[in-house]
Amino acid sequence: MDLGNTYFIKVEDVTINNSLIDEYFFCDLEKCKGACCTLENAYGAPLAIEEANTLAKIFDKVINYLPEKKQTALKKYGPFEVHKGNYHTRTIDERECIFVYYENEIAKCSLEKAYSRNEIDFRKPISCHLFPIKRQYFGSDVLRAEFLKICEPAISKGLDSKTTVYEFCKDSLIRLYGKSWFEKLKKVVSEKNSLIQF
């Protein structure tokens, strides 16, 4: 996607690419079928080590939401794997996340289901929750939206509803940085101050 002129805004110590505030996005599960959870990849969602430890403690509370093949894999191998020192959720057949279950042919997250039922207090990995925002660290956090071909329906729905990426990701951004930070982001966006033009 051509984002035109690229610029960044700064909110506290977080640098934000303009793709979060100028581009539109709103997940359309009826069309994409939860494809982001079933991408072909040997490794699943990136995890902080604290998240990996949490998954190791709680996976038994979500296991009954999963098909037998995934239950067996979880019990045998655990919920995550480590590659070159980085933690990831485990995948099945180098494709779908081990925590995926299907409802009306839509891939959904068993962690989020258990969370919504107050069975666990961990919603899902922050890297999943932030999607389509990609978080990188260069001395401090840098955020940018990364659009995949599977997200074309979400981009169309975002355009129709005039929902920007950062608005769609409000809950995950508040989870990561707090409500006060998010309110500062809204203010900076509305005033278009602190722009770093590139």
- Percent share of the chain, pLDDT over 70: 94
Structure confidence at residue 5 (pLDDT):
78
Q: Is the predicted pLDDT of residue 108 greater than 60, yes or no?
A: yes
pLDDT at 192: 66
Range name among 38-52, 60-74, 98-112, 154-168 with the lowest pLDDT average: 38-52
pLDDT tens for 182-193 read: 999 999 988 764
> Is the pLDDT assigned to residue 69 strictly greater than 80?
yes
Work out the number of other CB atoms within 10 angstroms of the CB of residue 25: 27
For the segment 73-102, the average pLDDT, to the nearest whole number, is 94
What is the average per-residue pLDDT within 20-25? 95
Q: What's residue 4's pLDDT?
A: 54
Domain boundaries, the chain: 1-25+132-198, 32-122
Using only C-alpha atoms, what is the Rg of the chain?
Answer: 18
pTM: 0.89
Residue 184: in which H helix or E strand, if any?
helix 179-191
- Residue 180 has φ and ψ, to the nearest 5°, of -60, -45
Residue 3: predicted pLDDT: 45
Rounded to 10°, the helix 179-191/170-177 angle is: 120
